[in-house]
Structure formats: structure tokens, C-alpha cells
Amino acid sequence: MVAQAILTLNAGSSSIKFAVFGCDGDQLEFTTGGKIEGIGTAPHLVARDASGIVLAEHRWEAGTGLQHEDFLGRLFEFAEQHLDGAELLGVGHRVVHGGAHFFAPARVTPSLLGALEALIPLAPLHQPHNLAAIKAVASVRPGLSQTACFDTAFHHQMPAVASRFAIPPALSSEGVRRYGFHGISYEYIARRIAALDPALAKGKVIVAHLGNGASLCALQAGQSIDTTMSFTTLDGLVMGTRSGGIDPGALLYLLQHKHMSADQISQLLYEQSGLLGVSGVSSDMRTLLESCDPRAADAVDLFVYRLAREAGALLSSLGGLDGLVFTAGIGENSAEVRRRTCERLAWLGITLDEDANARHADVISTPSSRISVRVIPTDEERMIARHTQETLTRPA
């Protein structure tokens, strides 16, 4: 039994993940965690203990209209009931956008909250839910320390040339620039690479975070030097419902000639595009891979094509490549997407070990492959807990 604990909350567009970690010195031990998925449609909660035993499972009927706010209080209560007598030291949150000013985990204060609210237009799918989670905790435990961990932070040191759009400097200095996201996941993966393969960690690695949201990060000696998402989480790869990179001229066409409103275009690009938009079948890669519908196959082809194409761009930013790492839902679980991506990148000297790939082994390239290809499960929750613990021990 541990005496102290940290709770993490990761509120996404239609899900909330939570985890409780016991703190023993600077060691973090996962004790309980889970996820509510399908918020807005048919919510489903599953919570497990460290050995994977289900502690709670509940399905709400479709159309109950329950939103994030309705679940946050309950999740917090559930987590508190499973602290096993430990004192809750603080809560760590994933916050998608830290803008130009927040690039290290920060204790939540009213003024920080205000500044983060101003960034909602830059991440409309996530930021409101991230901040709602902070407010929900503050309303039930006003004195409890809360820490915001930013998805943009890991990319803060990207070279200036990688952070700029080719627009007049007045706009760039107002903050219209490339930020990059999925930084909590990339930071965790960079640390895992250092632990698993110290020589590779000193080299040039592309990490493919392929989940509902998807991006690539170019790591040079463990630091992000370029990434595919930019000003918002729309840029770069094809995603579950997001378009990925699209010619800005196409948006002008939609505005000026198709007379779509800004809200309609926003909905189109964030919610009706990507795998869902192309296939008309689903935003879910597993469903598409199992489908016989030719439009599902087209969507998967486009996903892999754009992934390999963007990897090519990052290869050029890095000036070479030593390793490729797959992570997140698709990256960790889809041998098919990994196989097809590596096939497209075979010209680089990647040779896939088909058997290791099918088994989701840690290393899926052959020993003679010029580039080492790995599967590393991400753990954003642990990274958030680590930062929260560090923030708590730092003088305010």
C-alpha cells in the first residue's frame, strides 16, 4: 500500500481517460485506471486495477445526452474511492494547447486557466474538455493542486525554421505558427527509446503516433526538431475524422464559391473528413480493415500513402534516419498498417520481420535492416503523473 497518490485526467473529444498512480519516493506505481468512451453517443465506462481486473463497467443508453461535465465528477469520486487509503496529492491534466507562452508543466491558477481558455479556437475538439476537467476538480476539491501538461510543450524547441509558416512576420509574432501536438506521448516515447536502445536514442528517429488523432515527430537525439501537426491538430496525416493537411486554397474555394460558413468548414475538417469522410463507413481503422467496402480500402490506402509521404518530409528535416517507432491505437495494434507503411518506405533500407510484426514484437525489423523499426506502447498517463509529481515538489 502506498501513502500518497496522483490522479491523471485526459479528456479527449469523446472520451475521458483516468489513472491513479501511487507515489513511493520518485517511483510511480499504476494502481487503477480506465476510460469512458462514446461520450455524446453511447457512453461506456471500464475501470481496471493494475492486474487488469475489471473494477467497474457501465454502459449508458444511446441518446442519454450526458456530456463530459456529467462524467467528470463521477470519475473523480470513483478514483477517490479507489485510493486505498492513500492521500491524493494532486491531479495532472493533459491540456492540448499551451500556445506560445506555456511550454512546461504548470500549476493551475485562475490566470493560467484564463490564458488557456483563450486558446480554445486553436484546439476546439480538445481544449474545452481539458479545461472542463480542471474546473470540475476545482469545484469538488477547491484546494487540491492541479497541474496542466501541454501537448505542444515537447515541440517548443523546434528550430525556428520548422515553426514558421511563410506568412508576414506580424502574423507569425501574433502566434500564427507551427506548434505541434501529441508532445506528452512523444516525450514518453523518447524516454522509452533511451531506456530500450541508448544508441538509437542518440540518433535520428521518426515516431508515428497513430491513433484517432495521428501525427509524426522527428526526433534528433531525443528532441523534437519537426512534426506534422502545426498551428492546430488538423495538419499533417489523415486522421479518424480530421482531414490532415489540405491546400488552403481549397478552403477559400469552399468559402467563396460553395458559400460554406466558417462553422460548416470547421465541422467538415474536424468531424466529417479523414478516414470517416473518405470511406463513408467509419473513422475506426479496425472497422475499415475488416470492411469489404472498396471505399474503406481507399481510405486505408490514403492513410498509408500520406503517412509515408509525410515521413519522407521529416526524413529530409532530419537529414537521414536510424529508427522508426510506431505507437498509439493503430501503431501498436495494426500489423497491416505497419506492414504497408514499411513497404512504402522499403527504399530507405527498411526490412520488416513479418513474423515479429504479426506478433506486435518490440523490434519488427530484421537484424540486417538498415533502419530499426520498433513498436513502443505509449503511456501519456504515466508521463502526466511524472510531471505532476515534479511540479508538486518544485517550489511554487
Which residues are annotated as catalytic?
151
Nearest distance from residue 286's CB to ligand AMP, in Å? 4
- Selected from 123, 131, 225, 328, the binder of ligand AMP by CB under 6 A is 328
Tell me, by CB under 6 A, how many residues bind ligand AMP: 12
Choosing from 172, 266, 333, 351, the residue that interacts with ligand AMP (CB under 6 A) is 333
Cα distance between residue 94 and residue 97, in whole Å: 9
37 touching ligand AMP, by CB under 6 A: no
Of all residues in this chain, which one has the CB nearest to ligand AMP in the complex? 329
Residue 157 grid cell: 524547441
Residue 28 lies near ligand AMP (rule: CB under 6 A): no
- Of these, 330, 364, 371, 375, which contacts ligand AMP (CB under 6 A)? 330
Q: Is 297 in the site for ligand AMP (CB under 6 A)?
A: no
Residue number, 190 or 214, with CB nearest to ligand AMP:
214
Q: Which is nearer to ligand AMP, 284 or 353 (CB)?
A: 284
Nearer to ligand AMP, 23 or 190 (CB): 190
**Rounded least distance, CB 233 to ligand AMP, Å:** 12
- Of 145 and 287, the one with the shorter C-beta distance to ligand AMP is 287
Asked if residue 244 binds ligand AMP (CB under 6 A), the reply is no
- Other C-beta atoms lying within 10 Å of the C-beta of residue 218: 26
Question: Which of 240, 249, 309 minimizes the C-alpha distance to 277?
Answer: 240
Q: Does 10 bind ligand AMP (CB under 6 A)?
A: no
Nearest to ligand AMP of 123, 285 (CB atom): 285
Q: Are 177 and 199 a contacting pair, CB within 8 Å?
A: no
Q: Does 304 bind ligand AMP (CB under 6 A)?
A: no
**Secondary structure of the chain in the HEC alphabet?**
CCCEEEEEEEECCCCEEEEEEEEECCEEEEEEEEEEECCCCCCEEEEEECCCCEEEEEECCCCCCCCHHHHHHHHHHHHHHCCCCCEEEEEEEEECCCCCCCCCCEECCHHHHHHHHCCHHHCCCCHHHHHHHHHHHHHHCCCCEEEEEECCHHHCCCCHHHHCCCCCHHHHHCCCCCCCCCHHHHHHHHHHHHHHCHHHHCCEEEEEEECCCEEEEEEECCEEEEECCCCCCCCCCCCCCCCCCCCHHHHHHHHHCCCCCHHHHHHHHHHCCHHHHHHCCCCCHHHHHHCCCHHHHHHHHHHHHHHHHHHHHHHHHHCCCCEEEEEHHHHHHCHHHHHHHHHHCHHHCCCECHHHHHCCCCECECCCCCCEEEECCCCHHHHHHHHHHHHHHCCC
Q: How many CB atoms are located within 10 Å of the residue 79 CB?
A: 23
Task: Specify the residue, 2 or 125, whose C-beta has the smaller distance to ligand AMP.
Answer: 125
- Least separation in angstroms between residue 211's CB and ligand AMP is 3
329 touches ligand AMP (CB under 6 A): yes
Tell me how far, at minimum, the Cβ of 177 lies from ligand AMP, in Å.
Answer: 26
Query: What residues from 254 to 293 belong to the interface with ligand AMP (CB under 6 A)?
Result: 284-286, 289
Judged by CB under 6 A, which of 8, 334, 357, 389 binds ligand AMP? 334
Which of these segments, 119-127, 224-232, 322-330, 350-358, binds ligand AMP (CB under 6 A)?
322-330
Nearer to ligand AMP, 163 or 243 (CB): 243
212 touching ligand AMP, by CB under 6 A: yes
Contact region with ligand AMP (CB under 6 A), list: 102-110, 127-135, 230-238, 328-336: 328-336
Interface with ligand AMP (CB under 6 A):
211-212, 240, 284-286, 289, 328-330, 333-334
